[in-house]
A and B are shown apart, each in its own frame.
Chain A
Amino acid sequence: MTARKEKIVLPLIAVLLGFVLGSLIVVLTGRSPLSMYAAIVKGFSGIDILNGQPINTRYIGEFIIQAMPIILTGLSFAFASRTGLFSIGAEGQLMIGSISATTVALLLQAPRAVHLPLVLLAGVLGGALWGAIPGFLKARYNVHEVVVTIMMNYIALHFNNFVILHIFGSVDRVKTAPFPTSALLKSPFLESITRYSRLNWGFIPVIIALVLFSFIINKTTFGYSLRAVGYNKEAARYAGMKVSRNIVASMAIAGAFAGLAGAVITVGTFNFGRVIQAAEGYGFDGIAVALVGGNEAMGILLAGMLFGGLKAAQPLMQSQGIPREIAGIIQASIVLFVAMKFGIKMVLDKFERKQVPTTEGDRV
């Protein structure tokens, strides 16, 4: 198998195996896997197979809403990963992006054409700054980024809640005052064509982020130097590259993607700043998306949509009498099978070899 073919075939097999395992568990609990698949199909398309109803576009809108933030946190993890860093900080960077966007949304008054871009930019910059800190600590003092990013997730959580409760103030101790509409990604048009789902213009920054990711990594000299540092820090240093600067830049850009996710949620899905009780899992979902997507923009887009759809299907599964946790199990087992890609490859190679036996091999 060629390397390129492998990159496509192996994740597909992992996805397939994940669904097989999920079905088996459903069977074990005494339910029909068919109703699970019906729920999943409905989650993605709104088509209700069991009752023979046509497409309900509302479901499409809702599943895209689920996919958007985890595509962005997937890009965040993948960007750091491509440059040799293991960032678990997307969750915290997302919260800082969220509080930055909240701040600009509440404090600035401007027409939408100015206000909304500034809100998104604030999210990007907030996330970038939050990402740059572990990058700096890694580059300057060689503190491992995993430890720092995990810790900074907690700081971000409490910082977010502190700002919302004590600076902006909250009547119900849950959310801020609503944002002015000039700060929102919401679109009556998109809502109307998706039967009043929460779909909003957020997918546009997501698409831009996907294109930018691929462009920076593959096409630019900056991406070249980042990849060089990621693959072989020593060789990059010998070639005179500024390794420390690259580490900080890489972590900042990774943070920017996550920060954007925070802004998109805050002014897209919601229209107020929120108190966050505990980590919402966008960061870890992003890691899963990046792993399944092979750290490539196209893969992340597809994996993000898959996992977004599974999330959207959860309540539907529950209404079919299937535990919603099954969706989580499928997602987890897909990641597990991706991690087992060498094993899958070995089986495939054996299979291929058996199909085309050599004449000499037959004699043995």
Chain B
Amino acid sequence: MSYIVEMLHITKDFPGIRANDDITLQIEERSIHALLGENGAGKSTLMSILFGLYQPDSGSIRIRGTEVKISDPNVATSLGIGMVHQHFKLVHNFTVTENIILGMEPRKGPVIDIRTAEQKVEEISRLYGLAVDPRAKIEDISVSMQQRVEILKMLYRDAEILIFDEPTAVLTPQEIHELMQIMKRLVEEGKTILLITHKLKEIKEVADICTVLRRGKLVSTVPVADTDEERMAEMMVGRQVSFHVEKGPAKPGDELLRIEQLDVKNLKGLLGVKNLSLTVRAGEVLGLCGIDGNGQTELVQAITGLVKIESGKIFLKDKDITDLSIKERTDLGLGHIPEDRQKHGLVLDFTLGENFIIHNYYEKPFANHGILKKKAVFENAERLIQEFDVRSGQGAMTPARAMSGGNQQKAIVAREIDRSPDVFIVVQPTRGLDVGAIEYIHKRIIEERDKSKAILLVSLELDEIMDVSDRIAVIYSGEIAGIVDAAATNENELGLMMSGALRKTRGASHLAHEAAHA
């Protein structure tokens, strides 16, 4: 089989970091080639070079055997290379079709021939099984639909080589499955796919060949059929990785967080959380699982003080915090790792050092009489970077924006754990992270538990909930559909509760357990 893409001895430097070091990548036509690596291993850089966003410092690229110089994305497009970025590049108040044709609008005289365009979009979407409404506005459609629009954009431009940058990071399990089917279909129709990911399951499911990068260097290229998840993880991280969280039994103590009959309105003005009661005790992880949009966000925002509640009470260490400000709650010992790290967790234009002090910038040692102490800020940052293995090009002075997603998340985890809150609200802590980082963050959460902190873990990933939690509460339509012991439940039972088909109170838990075995 011939190679459609060859990237030979590619090297690329950024200030303070060698992102790609003599990497050679050869892609067979009509295959799904996975590019695996930790956050910051250089996958995205390599693909950005192929797409013409960066120029390599040395090395060459061949497309179908011909050496090319890809000086910008337009050249890449004309070579038949298309890319779906991790963060979509769509105009939100344009329709699907308008977004797809943007930059190469078909014309009828001086006006855009939207009718023809819509027909063509419909044709392509039918051919590849990408159902979307060509007339819908982007802001009205779901994330997975938006991703399809990005794929259609490439296909509309007759791309033959499709680069997917972490395409599943934003999708639900069901949507991931659909995307895999679409990818297989694309290959059947003659396309070649380059899949950037750190999710081993997905590689095993769809990819033919897998190339592993670690810290900017090529580790190995292997046929997926000849390897397994453990071995790929080992290549990626450079050591053996455990997929399961090692933890002893929980030693639950006092109730540190108590929620009583809470009602919270959502953005639509309806009750997103209804009459919800929940307790989290010292020394335990309570996992809250549910399908996205069942009131998790509203609950978390109510606990942390970001939204006003309709009725009910929230107690932190037996103190009524219902009417306290965000700041007062934080000072009382509430910690929060927010769901959206870029929007809520970090100030991207601040340096890492500045981000670390966002809660206590006005306190000693970071400030004295209202004047910031740069040295203390710097030392604090260096300490956290060391302790939590946050990788950044310029240490404390790295702009948060310049860091990879995984390291941004590690920075938030470092900041929050370092404050050592008694009650810790952890939302989607490992979304988009690689196995090494996931293992690490889970370990730190368990360590906090073992220091008798109360942890509320909110996650859409069932594996994570089942691995880390001691008890699991399932939220459905704003209500607790049941609370079960993590050791005594299974995916099936949780799935039923998440979809509203099963309700259980704590007392009835052993009964249901027996029923499941019968």
A residues at B contact (CB < 8 Å): 2, 219-225, 227-228, 231-232, 234-242, 353, 358-361, 363-364
Contact = CB atoms under 8 A, between A and B. Distances in A.
Nearest to A353: B55
Contacts of A227: 347, 350
A360 B372 contact: no
A2 B14 CA distance: 11
Contact of A221 (B15, B68, B362): B362
A231 B400 CA distance: 12
Contacts of B205: none
B447 interface: no
A234 B347 CA distance: 9
A92 B15 CA distance: 45
B361 A221 contact: yes
A241 to B, nearest CB: 8
Contact of A236 (B69, B325, B347): B347
A237 B326 contact: yes
B327 A238 contact: no
Interface in B327-377: 327, 329-330, 336, 338, 343-350, 354, 358-359, 361-362, 366-367, 370-372
Contacts, number: 84
Contact of A232 (B326, B349, B366): B349
Contacts of B362: 221, 225
B67 interface: yes
Contacts of A361: 55, 58, 69
B306 interface: yes
B371 A219 contact: yes
A360 B371 contact: no
A234 to B, nearest CB: 5
A236 B56 CA distance: 38
B347 A359 contact: no
- Which of A237, A353, A360 has most B Cβ within 10 Å? A360
B57 interface: yes
B86 interface: no
B312 interface: no
B348 A238 contact: no
Given A219-B371, A235-B345, A238-B338, A359 B58 contact: yes
B344 A235 contact: yes
A242 B327 CA distance: 9
Given A240-B325, A360-B56, 10 more contacts: A231-B347, A235-B343, A235-B358, A236-B358, A237-B306, A238-B306, A238-B345, A358-B58, A360-B9, A363-B67
Contacts of A224: 354, 361, 372
A63 to B, nearest CB: 35
A231 B371 contact: no
B349 A220 contact: no
Contacts of A237: 306, 326
Nearest to A242: B327
B428 interface: no
B347 A232 contact: yes
A3 to B, nearest CB: 9
B477 interface: no
B144 interface: no
B349 to A, nearest CB: 4
B26 interface: no
Contacts of A221: 361-362, 366-367, 370-372
B80 interface: no
B509 to A, nearest CB: 35
B59 interface: yes
A220 B60 contact: no
A238 B362 CA distance: 16
Given A225-B361, A240-B330, A364 B60 contact: yes
A273 B138 CA distance: 56
A245 to B, nearest CB: 12
A357 to B, nearest CB: 11
Contact of A235 (B55, B327, B330, B346): B346
Nearest to A228: B347
17 contacts: A221-B366, A222-B370, A228-B350, A228-B358, A231-B347, A232-B348, A235-B344, A235-B346, A236-B358, A237-B326, A238-B336, A238-B345, A239-B326, A239-B359, A240-B329, A240-B359, A363-B60
Contacts of B329: 240
Given A221-B361, A221-B362, A238 B58 contact: no
A6 to B, nearest CB: 13
Contacts of A238: 304, 306, 326, 336, 338, 344-345
Nearest to A231: B349
Q: Can you list the 3 inter-chain pairs with the closest CB atoms, starting with the nearest?
A: A240-B327, A240-B326, A231-B349
B361 A220 contact: no
A236 B350 CA distance: 12
